Homo-oligomer: A and B are copies of this chain.
């Protein structure tokens, strides 16, 4: 065995990126590759941590986002609208709503205007759940970013935005 610490879930290093690029005889910029890979890794880790975080309130990330989306609106929305604003498929919304309805955080009614449609309504219980979570939730979000000064946060937002705009490049063609 060597002396390398295996370093669980390790963020990849610049050297690793360089080695890979060299191995394939490519011209890519190791630093650019590193940024992409690190962001992906961070995203995956954050996703999982987020699930754990929301699980404490008996929710999942998706369910929480759906509740917030309802509360941000007038408290009701169709599944299709929810799918669009959450950026998930309608099938996923069906599943999320089913779970939330089972817990009484949300109710479903048939639409009065469109015979095909449904309307998802935030219940008092759902609203209360959001309020109960709020203080802890926002405190944790702040803590996550607490290592950055205010101006650094603005900078980070800008840079992140400029990367996410190009996510399509991953799958384009």
Interface residues of A (CB under 8 A from B): 6-11, 16, 19-21, 23-24, 26, 28-29, 31-47, 49-50, 52-53, 61, 68, 71-72, 81, 84-87, 130-131, 134-135, 138-148, 150, 152-157, 159-171
Provide the main secondary structure of the chain A interface: helix
Q: Is the CB of B35 within 8 A of A170?
A: no
Name the residue on B nearest A33 (C-beta): B141
* A133: min CB distance to chain B, Å: 9
* A109: min CB distance to chain B, Å: 19
Distance A9 CA – B20 CA, assembled complex (angstroms) = 33
Distance A31 CA – B144 CA, assembled complex (angstroms) = 12
